[in-house]
Structure 1
Amino acid sequence: MSTNKSPKVAVFGLGIMGEAMARNLDKSGLLTTTWNRSPKKDFPKFMSSVHDAVHAADIILILVTDDQAVSELLDLIEPDLGKRHLIIQCSTVKPESNIQFHKRVTKTGAHFIEALIGGSKGAAINRQIVFYFGGSKNDVSRAEPVLEKISAKCIYVGETGKASHIKLAMNLNIALQVEALCESFAYAERAGIDTETFFNVLKNNTAWNRLSEYKEPMLREMDFSPQFSVKNMHKDIRLALETDGPDNRLALLSALEKIFARAEAEGLGEDDMIALYKLLQAH
């Protein structure tokens, strides 16, 4: 394939992250087509037929909800795939699932990498996400010129499955930090410490970090609009626990899973994960 040929890029899955990434690809002049299971006919370059969308593209980014959704999408598009296609699987799934998806895609003659995403809605909109790559370095080198246009950094992790593991490792760390921030904030609040004082002290403490910076305005304004939802983080926590091994040594994460489950049960699933704070408010 000529390196001078502009790639024809498709985005399949127009949720929070898929929409932001597709819009940035469109602004960069790389987007050829988009598709979503629930039609979004007003979205740029949208095609109702997934088969037509595959034929219009060379590089296809997949951003759907879970393992089953990826598998069902592959069921639809496998007959249309060929040697010119590169599937970039961005959905957070079990590492073993991506290994199986790789086998399915390459059986058609097409190519496959995983490109897991570090960052949430705001980072995606501002092209500040980080991609974690797993798969063949040759296939990764084909994806990089496209994904570099919509990200701050691309990191090669290793063979297929390794990027999924590192994404889950990062997300379990973030989930624990979010709960710690919510508990710290709620504890100080119950002690009569005002919000301004809390964040002034936190900013001058070793506990201050990038996550605190992102979530500070949301806690100040009680803004729980989803940047990364409770539901999606809960899914990733379950994936980490399911893929850790038989001895279940992730004690804090196991306890945190129960908190996220309670948050979903209380109707907070679509809220940003900082909405865990609501569970700590006096009723």
Structure 2
Amino acid sequence: MIGWIGLGHIGRAMAERLSEEYELLVWNRTMEKAKGFKNIAKTLEEVAEKCDVIFLSLYDSEAVRQVSERLLKIDLSGKIIVDTTTNHYEKVLEFHELYRYNGAFYLESPVIGSVVPARNGQLTILVSGEKEAFEKVLSYLEKLGKKIFYFEEPGKATKLKLINNFVLGAFMAVLGEAIALGEKAGISKEELIEVLENGAGNSVVLKAKKEKLLNEDYSTHFSVKNLVKDLSYAYDLAVASRKTILLNPIVRELYRLAFERNMEELDFSVIYKLLKEL
């Protein structure tokens, strides 16, 4: 039985996908989110006791720390923790050491993609950690992802994920502003998107968000709140790397404007709506 901790938007989609082929024991802090699963643990500790492979899908590194403190009260010797959370690049190194010290394997495994690709097994998964553990869980990861990158060096997968999400946020902002500009200039949104997807705007981002933009449906696949967190982590990485980056702070503050309009829990494609209103 596989353990699964964390059933947010993407966490639930991944757990549902994995449960099609494997038996899962799930736990979430808000137990209502676990409805629909066959096996629901009453406590976090129950997952640690019954499962040799435990997936984490949490909001941030603080949540991972809190969950880890409880998990480590149980003997985890030989067990594998697969952490799909997008972590802070420094904290994730601490988690490697923490679990290793307690005899467990820890794989940082952040995913690229949102709810729909997660449910369809089309994620890109970045993994750092010991190869022995990676090979043991590879069949599970292949159920979730179409492309899996493995790096033995701890922390590398997380750095790559943070850089990727900076590009994601910046690209969505550019698309949002471009479409808002075109509409102001008298061009229909449908025409704008069709030209962009056959021109410079052609991208995975536009393909994924096309229907949301056309229908102005901002139901959450990847929230503004999560993106702002990832952009902040990416900025910290730049500071530590002594690399000047000019766009990250601008992009981050642009999405933070959404907080002032109570949009932080909506899908990050809502940046188009915000830019249109400015």
Uncovered stretches (5+) of structure 1, i.e. residues with no partner: 1-7
What is the alpha-carbon distance in structure 1 between the residues aligned to residue 187 and residue 178 of structure 2? Answer: 11
Contact 1:241 1:248 in 2 (8 A): no
Alignment pair present for 1:167 and 2:161: yes
Alignment of 1:188-267 (within 5 A): 188-245=182-239, 247=242, 249-267=244-262
What is the alpha-carbon distance in structure 1 between the residues aligned to residue 190 and residue 83 of structure 2? Answer: 42
Within the candidate set 102, 112, 136, 1:108 is matched to: 102
Contact 2:10 2:115 in 1 (8 A): yes
Alignment of 1:171-186 (within 5 A): 171-186=165-180
What is the alpha-carbon distance in structure 2 between the residues aligned to residue 43 and residue 102 of structure 1? Answer: 32
Give structure 1 regions of 4+ aligned residues with deviation exceeding 4 angstroms.
none
- The residue number in structure 1 matching 2:26 is 34
Quick one: which amino acid aligns to residue 140 of structure 2? V
Quick one: which amino acid aligns to residue 253 of structure 2? K
- The residue number in structure 1 matching 2:125 is 131
- The residue number in structure 2 matching 1:10 is 3
Alignment of 1:49-128 (within 5 A): 49-128=43-122
Contact 1:22 1:31 in 2 (8 A): no
Displacement after TM superposition at 1:248 (Å): 5.5
Alignment pair present for 1:281 and 2:273: no
User: Does 194-203 or 139-148 show the bigger shift?
Assistant: 194-203
What is the alpha-carbon distance in structure 2 between the residues aligned to residue 111 and residue 266 of structure 1? Answer: 42
Is the alpha carbon distance of 1:279 and 1:85 closer, same or farther for their aligned partners in structure 2, counting shifts above 3 Å?
same
Contact 2:175 2:201 in 1 (8 A): no
Uncovered stretches (5+) of structure 2, i.e. residues with no partner: none
What is the alpha-carbon distance in structure 2 between the residues aligned to residue 88 and residue 253 of structure 1? Answer: 29
What is the alpha-carbon distance in structure 2 between the residues aligned to residue 161 and residue 61 of structure 1? Answer: 18
Quick one: which amino acid aligns to residue 264 of structure 1? F
Per-residue CA deviations over 1:26-46 (Å, capped at 9, x if unaligned) read: 111x23300111113524111
Q: What's the TM-score once normalised by structure 1's chain length?
A: 0.93
Contact 1:32 1:57 in 2 (8 A): no
Contact 2:3 2:25 in 1 (8 A): yes
SS at match of 1:243: helix
SS at match of 2:7: coil
Alignment pair present for 1:272 and 2:264: no
User: Does 38-47 or 152-161 show the bigger shift?
Assistant: 38-47
Contact 2:10 2:221 in 1 (8 A): no
**Identity rate, percent:** 27
User: Does 110-119 or 248-257 show the bigger shift?
Assistant: 248-257
